[in-house]
């Protein structure tokens, strides 16, 4: 009888571990498939949405030109110019064909997303690549910092949920979390930037400097990044804090926590290996969600801080109905968000041995 139980236990344990590895692999493949599909769907939606925005880019462009030069409009010349541009931008083709061409060039043509209006004849791709580091720099750094701080703080106040300081922290975080990001940004600009004058509140670096590997430039870069990053971090970090606190409190009610305390483990081990490790898993998923949900907030912050990132570029492109550029920005944003999310999701099985169950 005993031998029987043993044999069965051995077999099922090894089998289950093998099956486990297989399933994690399948999970990764599946997750990558989802990634590619979402990317395609996003490109498609972005393509059609921007072509449905009212206002013909050509008319707006010409209107701007004539106004700028103060000349009379010459109908024949305009016709010719418009025809020329429409050809360059491939706008005379029927919409489905435009779509297919767009996809073909984007995928096979080495990310050829067409020329831009805002800085014609600069390629949209180059424009976006030039601006993207600013956005991603601010965005990823602030989200990850906010996540680290929020996760640590939330774990602590969840662990000491009945402590007076924890309750104070909850009230503060709740207030910060419901504050719109742009209000925080404006508050920081006015207070830290203009009233106290402790930090610069506009532009990517001091005006008199040129980008170079010098300490002066880098320190100016960092100083200029602090306030925009803080604007992003305060609201997002408060959300992460509250999220982690709730996760901690729910984990503290689990049976395995009672058992951990019953075993006589030190409180620190209980906190670290039993409570925190388990609360961390959904908190990482939360990071993936927040990455997707907060990039647009960063765009607004860029505009408020005159930061030369994608958000600022987007506003310029919007003014001209430059859908090539708008579309490229949206595309790169989606690409960045989906890729970051993919990385986070693929990291999950490292944290959670049960991942295949929830996937």
Partner 1 sequence: MSGSALLEIRGLSAGLQGRRSITQVVSGVNLDVHGGEILGVVGESGCGKSTLAAAIMRLLVLPQVLQSGTMTMRLEDGKTVELMELPDNELRHLRWRHLSYIPQGSMNSLNPVLRVERQMTDTLIQHGLSKKEALDRSIAALELVNLDTKVLQSYPHELSGGMRQRVIIASAVSMRPALIVADELTTALDVVTQRQILQELAAIRDELGATIILITHDMGVVAQIADRVAVMYAGKIAELGTVNDIFEDPQHPYARGLIGSIPRESGQRVEGLQGEAPSPWNYPTGCRFHPRCPEVFERCNQHTPTLQQRAMDRWVACHLYDAETEFDG
Region 145-184 residues binding partner 1, contact defined as CB under 8 A: 162
Answer for which of 22, 277, 289, 335 binds partner 1 (CB under 8 A) is 277
Question: End-to-end CA distance of the chain, in Å?
Answer: 37
Between CA 126 and CA 122 the distance in angstroms is 7
Among 25, 37, 256, 335, binds partner 1 (CB under 8 A): 256
The reply on whether position 126 binds partner 1 by CB under 8 A is no
Residues 6 or more apart whose Cβ sits within 8 Å of residue 270: 257, 260, 261
Query: Does the protein bind partner 1 through residue 5 (CB under 8 A)?
Result: yes
Q: Is residue 359 a contact residue for partner 1 (CB under 8 A)?
A: no
To partner 1, the closest distance from the beta carbon of 166 in angstroms equals 14
From 1-9, 198-206, 214-222, 241-249, span contacting partner 1 (CB under 8 A): 1-9
Q: How many residues bind partner 1 (CB under 8 A)?
A: 36
User: CB of 137 within 8 A of CB of 225?
Assistant: yes
* DSSP 8-state assignment for residue 123: B
Alpha-carbon distance of 302 to 296, in angstroms, equals 10
CA distances from 301 to 28, 64, 72, 150 (A): 35, 27, 40, 20
Query: Distance (Å, rounded) from C-alpha 104 to C-alpha 168?
Result: 56
306: alpha, beta or left? (left if phi > 0; alpha if psi -120 to 50): left
Q: Does 269 bind partner 1 (CB under 8 A)?
A: yes
Q: Residues 6 or more apart from 340 whose CB is under 8 A from it?
A: 140, 288, 291
Span interacting with partner 1, options 6-14, 71-79, 86-94, 228-236, rule CB under 8 A: 6-14
Query: How many Å apart are CA 19 and CA 162, to the nearest integer?
Result: 43
Phi, psi of 123 (to 5 degrees): -70, 140
340 CB-side CA count, 13 A: 23
170-178, Cβ contacts within 8 angstroms, sequence gap of 24 or more: 170/242, 170/245, 172/238, 173/238, 173/239, 173/241, 173/242, 173/245, 174/238, 174/242, 176/234, 176/235, 176/237, 176/238, 177/235, 177/238, 177/239, 177/242
Residue 104 as a binder of partner 1 (CB under 8 A): the answer is no
197 binding partner 1? (CB under 8 A): no
Q: How far is the CB of 282 from partner 1 (least distance, A)?
A: 12
User: Interface with partner 1 includes 110 (CB under 8 A)?
Assistant: no
Kindly indicate which of the ranges 27-35, 74-82, 232-240, 349-357 contains the residues binding partner 1, using the contact rule CB under 8 A: 349-357
Indicate which single residue of 92, 194, 273, 319 sits in contact with partner 1 (rule: CB under 8 A).
Answer: 273
According to CB under 8 A, which residues from 11 to 50 bind partner 1? Answer: 12-14, 16-17, 20
Q: Is residue 244 a contact point for partner 1 (CB under 8 A)? A: no
155's tokens: 């774990």
Among 21, 22, 104, 354, binds partner 1 (CB under 8 A): 354
Min dist CB 158 to partner 1, Å, is: 14
Closest contact distance (angstroms) between CB of 344 and partner 1 is 17
Between 40 and 259, CB nearer to partner 1: 259
**Member of 52, 68, 196, 262 binding partner 1 (CB under 8 A):** 262
* Omega within 30 of 0 (cis) for the link into 121: yes
For residues 144 and 239, what is the distance between their CA atoms, to the nearest angstrom? Answer: 13
Stretch that binds partner 1, among 55-63, 183-191, 248-256, 302-310 (CB under 8 A): 248-256
Applying CB under 8 A, among 209, 281, 315, 359 the residue interacting with partner 1 is 281
- Is residue 306 part of the contact set for partner 1 (CB under 8 A)? no
Q: Which of 147, 240, 274, 305 binds partner 1 (CB under 8 A)?
A: 274
Q: Which residue number, 3 or 75, has a Cβ lying nearer to partner 1?
A: 3
| Interaction site with partner 1 (CB under 8 A) | 1-2, 5-6, 9-10, 12-14, 16-17, 20, 162, 254-256, 258-266, 269, 273-274, 277-278, 281, 351-354, 357
């Amino acid at each position: 009888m005993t031998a029987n139980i043993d044999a069965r236990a051995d077999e099922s344990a090894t089998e289950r571990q093998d099956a486990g590895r297989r399933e994690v692999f399948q999970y990764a493949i599946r997750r990558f498939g989802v990634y590619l599909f979402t990317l395609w769907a996003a490109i498609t939606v972005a393509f059609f949405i921007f072509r449905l925005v009212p206002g013909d880019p050509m008319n707006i462009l010409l209107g701007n030109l004539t106004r700028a030069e103060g000349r009379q409009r010459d109908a024949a010349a305009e016709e010719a110019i418009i025809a020329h541009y429409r050809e360059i931008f491939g706008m005379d083709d029927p919409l489905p064909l435009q779509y297919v061409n767009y996809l073909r060039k984007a995928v096979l043509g080495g990310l050829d997303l067409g020329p831009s209006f805002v800085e014609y004849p600069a390629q949209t791709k180059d424009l976006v690549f030039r601006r993207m580091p600013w956005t991603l720099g601010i965005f990823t750094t602030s989200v990850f910092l906010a996540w680290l701080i929020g996760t640590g703080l939330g774990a602590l106040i969840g662990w000491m949920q009945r402590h007076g300081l924890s309750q104070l922290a909850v009230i503060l975080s709740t207030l910060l979390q419901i504050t719109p990001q742009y209000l925080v940004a404006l508050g920081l600009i006015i207070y830290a930037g203009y009233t106290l004058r402790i930090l610069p509140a506009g532009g990517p670096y001091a005006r008199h400097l040129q980008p170079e590997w010098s300490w002066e430039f880098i320190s100016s870069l960092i100083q200029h990044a602090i306030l925009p990053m803080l604007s992003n971090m305060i609201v997002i970090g408060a959300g992460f804090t509250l999220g982690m606190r709730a996760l901690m409190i729910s984990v503290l009610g689990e049976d395995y926590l009672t058992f951990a305390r019953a075993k006589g483990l030190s409180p620190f081990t209980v906190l670290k290996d039993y409570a925190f490790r388990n609360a961390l898993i959904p908190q990482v998923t939360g990071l993936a969600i927040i990455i997707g949900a907060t990039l647009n907030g960063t765009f607004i912050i860029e505009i408020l801080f005159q930061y030369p990132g994608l958000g600022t570029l987007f506003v310029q492109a919007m003014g001209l109905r430059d859908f090539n550029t708008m579309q490229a920005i949206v595309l790169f944003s989606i690409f960045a968000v989906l890729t970051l999310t993919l990385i986070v999701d693929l990291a999950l099985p490292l944290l959670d041995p049960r991942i295949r169950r929830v996937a």
